[in-house]
A = this chain, B = another copy of it.
Amino acid sequence: MREVSIVGFGQTKVGEHWERSLRHLAGDAVLAAMQHAGIDRADVLYVGNMLSGELAGQEHLGALVADFVGLRGVEAIKVEAACASGAAAVRQALIAVTSGLAEIAIAVGVEKMTDEIGSSVTSGLAMAADGDYEAAHGLSFVALNALLMRRYMYEFDYQRQDFAPFAVNAHANAVNNPYAMFQRPISADAFARAALIASPISLLDSSPVCDGAAAVVIAPSQQARAFTDRPVRVAASAVATDAVALHDRRDPLFLQAGHDSAYKAYLQAGVRPEDIDLFELHDAFTVMSALSLEATGFAERGKGVALALEGDIQREGRIPIATMGGLKARGHPVGATGVYQIVEVAQQLRGEAGVNQVPGARRGMAQNIGGSGATIVTHILEAAE
């Protein structure tokens, strides 16, 4: 198996793109990534997406996007792993190049959630949960996370307000990310006053419903400098799963798949949590940030929120998270999110994060979570020497 690198990337601004169709959004990201890498061909395209069937009445995105970006004929497949579809698509692209089957692979994540042609976003997102044992009983996706947050507060003795630093940090970082949906700061006071959606989750605990697409170009590390002066090495890529239904987990407050995929990744990269300079985690809801920090070894059980309260998640802190706005403020176009995370880590490692630059960032991690924790994909990227 050969080592692979990210040699180009592209992204659309996250937002409400009522004037762009699914294929336009995906096309914008892929073409930007191809231009960035200086390529006009690829051997394979993987499309990460969860809800195109439900919300746009369109499956078969692999061939559709390939044709639209001028790659008609190329191998192209859609991969789906709920909200982890984006990182899962990147992983398939890595595998294709690592194996030697492809020299250049593109992964694009795309989601269009603000135009509901088919069903509603709420019922669409519930398909990430267990249809027979959760959704069928009326549990929406936000309600599942509300159960988790309520239990977390009870078990570890926190108040709702204690989760504010996650949202405040994300919004602060989004201000300077031109691709972010919410380029404006919020205060802890605003967090306290925010309207509840599913108690204890408020509007400011939640990532938004939105549209967007992001893409990366993968090539063998040995050839990477032919495409870019700043390749980003893929040091690790790992996936683990868990029961889809929350009530089937051994411990609902521990992301076993987050732990397993992260520790597989640490092993592959030969590093420990303290060697990671920044961490793009899956802050779909503030409680998920805490659980992700705990599963990956950055905080003890029940101490993820304490870590945030101590300022350790900020740019100059012990483990900067959501450095470009995170799911909360950059936005969470579901099947695209995992690719946005990887693009943002790559920006940091190339020293291209502008005022959001994490000083001296050499190694970054991205963790993309599907459902309430049933599919978790972890990548570790490193700046090239």
Contact = CB atoms under 8 A, between A and B. Distances in A.
Interface of A: 1, 21, 23, 50-51, 53-54, 56-64, 66-67, 72-82, 88, 91-92, 95-96, 98-101, 118-119, 123-124, 126-132, 135, 238-244, 248, 256-257, 260, 370-371, 374-375
Contact of A81 (B60, B73, B119, B256): B60
A58 B95 CA distance: 27
Nearest to A117: B131
Contacts of A100: 1, 99
A76 B88 CA distance: 10
Interface centre among A123, A131, A374 (most CB of B within 10 A): A131
A96 B21 CA distance: 33
Given A1-B99, A95-B101, A239-B77, A58 B374 contact: no
Contact of A76 (B21, B78, B241, B248): B241
Consensus secondary structure, chain A interface: mixed
A112 to B, nearest CB: 11
Contact of A63 (B72, B73, B91, B370): B370
B130 A73 contact: no
Given A98-B99, A101-B95, A131 B256 contact: no
Nearest to A50: B59
B63 A241 contact: yes
B98 A244 contact: no
A59 B80 contact: yes
A239 to B, nearest CB: 4
Contacts of A99: 1, 95, 98-101
B78 A80 contact: yes
A124 B53 CA distance: 8
A131 B53 CA distance: 10
Nearest to A21: B132
23 contacts: A1-B99, A1-B101, A50-B59, A53-B127, A56-B131, A58-B131, A58-B132, A59-B82, A59-B127, A60-B127, A60-B371, A62-B81, A62-B241, A63-B241, A64-B374, A66-B241, A67-B242, A67-B248, A67-B374, A74-B240, A76-B241, A78-B80, A92-B92
A101 B101 contact: no
A72 B257 CA distance: 9
A103 to B, nearest CB: 13
Contact of A80 (B57, B60, B72): B60
B244 A75 contact: no
Contacts of A371: 60, 63
A125 to B, nearest CB: 9
